[in-house]
Amino acid sequence: MKIGLRIFLGYFLIVALAALLLTRVFLAEVKPGVRQAMEDSLVDSANVLAELAADDFLAGRIDDGRFADRIRALGSRDLGAEIWGFGKRTAQYRVYVTDAQGIVVFDSSGRDLGKDYSRWNDVYLTLRGRYGARSSPENPHDPDSTVMHVAAPIHDADGHIVGSLTVAKPNRTIAPFIARSQSVVRRWGLLLMGVALGVGVVAAWWLSRQVQGLQRYARAVTAGERATPPRASGEFRALGEALETMRTRLEGKQYVEQYVHTLTHEMKSPLAAIRGSAELLEDGSADDAPPMADADRARFAANIRRQSERLAQMIDKLLALAAVEHRQHLEDPQSLALDDLLAEAVEMARPCLERAGVTCRMEVEPSLPAVRGDAFLLRQAVVNLIENAADFAPRGTEVEVAAKRDGEGVRIEVRDRGPGIPGYALDRVFERFYSLARPDGGSRSSGLGLSFVAEVAALHLGRATLANREDGGAVASLRLPV
């Protein structure tokens, strides 16, 4: 089954279930919603009529007074109303009044005068000061014959409840409104479902077209053909560009060329120094050559050792950097206490600090939260920052290693009192193989240490920066999330 058809069928299933659920919910809510509105109007009507009937009720003429005459006259009135397309000619209210014992003393229909209604909820609850209402069928065998009754209390001059007035109205009077509302809900539901399905067809066709274009491109690349990413938009365009980039990287042209070219250039200088020192040592050991001083011989040998160590260091750091660059995420992050990690890093960098003639001071903010990450990588990154600071710090000065809170994360800082970073180099210090001359005229580094730090920071979802201090020197920062 093609992906377009699968997308469409899945979309159709979701839309159909959602439409069915919403339609059933709306239809189920129409009837109670309309009845609630009718009950609200009956509450108002019952209380208004209870106030109007109070005088006749207290005077003992509730069944033959002016109130009774007006209620009975309502039955012969032609209302002539038009309510949202439905005509209404006669009032369909039934009004009855009971005394404090629940005996009917007035009934607009004239059928239950003198009967005991004290057990009906509308009368029973109202006479006890509560809200009284009920919905009862007129015919026990006809569920559609229910009538809604809402009662209101009649008070005497002292505020005591002396009777109740009930307004009753058949629920079938609102049946046309319910049926029409349900019909409208069904009609619009079907229309919306049809529109949603149309949108689904277009969306499925578009998605299928985009995926098929990427599929044809991938097949062409696999076959070794010359191919360009398909024309697409949005995420599919980004995916096509990512595939093109991946193909270029996998072919190894740009990646290998960059590394080999730069590495070859960087290796020329130490190799030339090693070769020159070796030639001088060979010339000095020839039979016809004047004897070489021990100091010169030691100097040339030391130069060979230093340049060899530089080459070895460059290769080791390049391998470490390549290993970090190809990791997509941390495989087994652990909770790390920064004070212990920084102390270990300072101890590992101690030989470099002693050779440079600088001391190291560590400041860790109290109650600093732990970070999750790879202890080896983070420790090596901090060591690289300390060794880089030691290379530029003047002899007799101090390198500061600090850790503190920084918003929702922590910041590790390594500060020195060296000459700082030239403006032209601020944006390039984290590039591979980019290195600055040392203040004492020493040879440049491999230019891979800060690149390693940047990659480790990115792998931990953090960020590495290097900037100048206002009072002289430089500060390298490694920000990590908590």
Is residue 258 pLDDT above 70, yes or no? no
Return the higher-pLDDT residue of 268 and 51.
Answer: 51
Q: How confident is the model at residue 129 (pLDDT cuts 50, 70, 90)?
A: very high
Q: How confident is the model at residue 117 (pLDDT cuts 50, 70, 90)?
A: very high
| Percent of residues, the chain, with pLDDT higher than 90 | 22
Q: Is residue 311 part of a domain?
A: no
pLDDT of residue 352: 83
Return the higher-pLDDT residue of 290 and 449.
Answer: 449
Lowest mean pLDDT among 70-79, 231-240, 352-361: 231-240
Lowest mean pLDDT among 38-42, 161-165, 212-216: 212-216
Return the higher-pLDDT residue of 458 and 103.
Answer: 103
Q: Is residue 223 part of a domain?
A: no
Return the higher-pLDDT residue of 258 and 216.
Answer: 216
Return the higher-pLDDT residue of 428 and 270.
Answer: 428
Q: What is the mean pLDDT of residues 195-209?
A: 76
End position of a domain, from candidates 132, 156, 179: 179
Lowest mean pLDDT among 44-58, 203-217, 232-246, 459-473: 232-246
pLDDT of residue 255: 46
Q: Is residue 316 part of a domain?
A: no
298-338 per-position pLDDT tens digit: 777 776 776 676 666 666 655 655 555 556 567 778 898 88
End position of a domain, from candidates 179, 211, 235: 179
Q: Is residue 306 part of a domain?
A: no
Q: Is residue 412 part of a domain?
A: yes
**CATH code where residue 169 lies:** 3.30.450.20
> How many domains would you assign to the chain?
2
204-239 per-position pLDDT tens digit: 777 777 777 777 777 776 665 556 667 766 666 777
The residue segments making up the domain with residue 439 are 327-481
Q: Is residue 420 part of a domain?
A: yes
Q: Is residue 293 part of a domain?
A: no
Q: Is residue 42 part of a domain?
A: yes
Is residue 121 pLDDT above 90, yes or no? yes
Give the 3-state DSSP-derived string for the chain, with helices as H, strands as E and coil as C.
Answer: CCHHHHHHHHHHHHHHHHHHHHHHHHHHHHHHHHHHHHHHHHHHHHHHHHHHHHHHHHCCCCCCCHHHHHHHHHCCCCCCEEECCEEECCCCCEEEEEECCCEEEEECCCCCCCCECCCCHHHHHHHCCCCCEEEEECCCCCHHHEEEEEEEEEECCCCCEEEEEEEEEEHHHHHHHHHHHHHHHHHHHHHHHHHHHHHHHHHHHHHHHHHHHHHHHHHHHHCCCCCCCCCCCHHHHHHHHHHHHHHHHHHCHHHHHHHHHHHHHHHHHHHHHHHHHHHHHHHHCCCCCCCCCHHHHHHHHHHHHHHHHHHHHHHHHHHHHHHHHCCCCCCCCEEECHHHHHHHHHHHCHHHHHHHCCEEEEEECCCCCCEEECHHHHHHHHHHHHHHHHHHCCCCCEEEEEEEEECCEEEEEEECCCCCCCHHHCCCCCCCCCCCCCCCCCCCCCCCHHHHHHHHHHHCCCEEEEEECCCCCEEEEEEEEC
**CATH code where residue 331 lies:** 3.30.565.10
The answer to whether the pTM exceeds 0.75 is no
End position of a domain, from candidates 126, 156, 179: 179
